[in-house]
Amino acid sequence: MENLKFLQIHSLHGYPAVLLNRDDSGLAKRLKYGGRLRTRISSQCLKRHWRMANDENNLKHISGVTAASRSREIVTRKVIDPLRKDHEQNSIDSIEKAFQISVYGSKGDVKSSRQPLLLGEPEIKYLAKEAKNIAKQISEANEESVNETLNEWRENNKKIVDQLRISADAAASFSGEVVTRKVIDPLKEKHDPNLIELIEKEFYRFVYGDKGDVKSSHQSLLLSKSEIEFLAKEVKNIAKQLSEAYENNAKKILSEWRNNYKSNMKQLRDTCKLPGGLVSALFGRMVTSDPEANIDAAIHVAHAFTIHEEESESDYFSVVDDLQRIEDESGADHIGETELTSGIFYGYVVVDRDILLDNLSNDKEMACEIVRRLVHLIAKVTPGAKLGSTAPYEYASWMLIEAGDCQPRSLAEAFRKPCEPNIESGEKALNEHIKRLDETYGCNEIRRFLSLTNSPIQNALRLTLPELAEWTGQTIQTGKMWCVGYYYNSMRQWHRSEVWQ
């Protein structure tokens, strides 16, 4: 055994009168194991609390790491919304639809059809930059379309308007607001406001002169019914032409972008460290719309379960009104019921060193720091449900870390037959199971452990939590099994020993 491939982290945590992880009915999650019902904590629950922890060993503040966001609204809130105030709304809507489909899949433009997706800050920043550039390109293309369309209209229609004025009928309107009220206003509900505003200014200048786009410069002008109808028809046609041009401009630019989206994202991921953020690098992600964006999990987390049969009860509680008077009706203002459970939970985590280093662009120092902190988090961070009413804060009573190059294997079988609900029984069952494994398969791992009871573990050296975390981090960093021989002397100084035991 020379090169480290896997770390296995086993733990026992004890909790009294808690409700750590609930199902859809508000009851504790459960599983049946060995024919007996056990209380369970889901792996999703454990991972979320480890990654969201904010103590001195949190994963967020490791130098060089990037954050990530998991949401169905990443494109809407972090990419599109910042653009809405500065660009034409229909164009932004087109950009949003294209981006939603590219990121979330073919049905991504419907919010309810999207899955919460985990994207790293580099990926989000790239999408935001791309959306901004596309919005600028569409705006420039739209501006060119507006200029071409209106210039063509001016040249073609000036003589026609002059003729209409000569043959004006008796019915006429005398007003400084005739263009606004009779020509422009009927179109405002059907077209983009920015587009209508551009057309309105052009027609003001055409009807009222060079300064016509300034309302205070309008003179009360007498226009015949024929002239008003002509202008209204022309505005309607121009609005339709420009709306189609806007749509075509957006389609053309977005089609080109979508054709290159996956290759550009792949290039970003290949050249950027932690493109999917630290969370993706540790716990993986799956992107159904882009399989090349999938990231294999480097840290595998099992559901924790009680080593004994479930211990559960219903907690009946009441709420009393502090302002209740003597003459008021006696009794509680509210009566409720919730479930509370107690138990000793077995937890199991595997770290795949090769995948971890691959996801971290082979940054061994970062890998060392991540795993060092992870050991602290597993030992000390508690799932946080019902904090105010149960204070579910506990540290691990027992933890065993195994380093090796063989396929990992859980120690859950030690508890297929439920134990007595105490740490000593759990440690005894684990040690007996480890002995059976060693007798059958040989001892293929190097072991270090911590224990509040100081019970011995087969072929394992007992350490404190800081020592255990440091040893684990150094082992991940070097990957050489001789590093496992590091130990503390009585003065708490590191010594190197190439003798494992």
| Residue range 381-397, pLDDT digits in tens | 988 788 888 999 999 99
On whether both 373 and 426 belong to a single domain, the answer is yes
Q: What is the CA radius of gyration of the chain?
A: 34
175 in the same domain as 27: no
State residue 271's pLDDT score: 84
pLDDT of the residue at 332:
67
Cβ 426 vs Cβ 344: under 8 Å:
yes
What dihedral do alpha carbons 52, 54, 60, 62 form, nearest 10°?
-140
- Quick one: 441 and 297 in the same domain? yes
**Between the ranges 176-185, 199-208, 335-344, 470-479, where is the mean pLDDT highest?**
470-479
**Is the same domain home to 342 and 210?**
no
> Could you give the percent of the chain with pLDDT greater than 90?
50
Pick from 9, 20, 12: nearest CA to 423: 12
The answer on 171 and 81 residing in a single domain is: yes
Note whether 137 and 204 are same-domain residues: yes
Distance between CA atoms of residues 356 and 283, nearest Å = 10
**Burial of 131 per CB tally in 10 Å (0-12, 13-18, 19+):** buried
Mean pLDDT across the chain: 84
**CA angle at 181 for the pair 180 and 186, rounded to the nearest 5°:** 100
Sequence-distant contacts of 247-255: CB under 8 A, at least 24 apart: 247/90, 247/94, 249/91, 249/138, 249/141, 249/142, 249/145, 250/90, 250/91, 250/94, 250/95, 250/138, 251/94, 252/141, 253/134, 253/137, 253/138, 253/141, 254/94, 254/95, 254/98, 254/134
Residues 17, 80, single domain; the answer is: no
**Does residue 326 form part of some domain?**
no
The answer to whether residue 288 scores a pLDDT higher than 50 is yes
Q: What is the pLDDT of residue 5?
A: 94
Q: How many C-beta atoms lie closer than 10 Å to residue 310's C-beta?
A: 20
Residue 449: pLDDT band by 50, 70, 90 thresholds? very high
Number of domains in the chain: 2
pLDDT given for residue 158 in this prediction: 62
Shared domain check, 354 and 482: yes
- For residue 501, being part of any structural domain is answered with no
Examine the domain organization and report whether 316 and 453 are in the same domain.
yes
CA distances to 212, 281, 283, 291 from 294, rounded to whole Å, are: 58, 10, 11, 5
What residue numbers bound the domain in which 453 lies?
6-66+275-321+333-495
pLDDT in tens, 132-152: 999 999 988 888 888 888 777
Q: What is the pLDDT of residues 215-236, one digit of tens each?
A: 555 555 566 677 667 777 777 7
User: Are 279 and 389 part of one and the same domain?
Assistant: yes
The rounded distance, in Å, linking the Cα atoms of 344 and 477 is: 32
Residue 490 pLDDT greater than 60, yes or no: no
327 within a domain of the structure (yes/no): no
To the question of pTM greater than 0.95 for the whole model, the response is no
Q: Which amino acid is at 248?
A: N
The more confident residue out of 37 and 201 is 37
pLDDT at 129 > cutoff 80: yes
Bridge pairing between strands 117-120 and 68-71: antiparallel
User: Do residue 266 and residue 315 come from a single domain?
Assistant: no
Q: Do 164 and 139 lie in a common domain?
A: yes
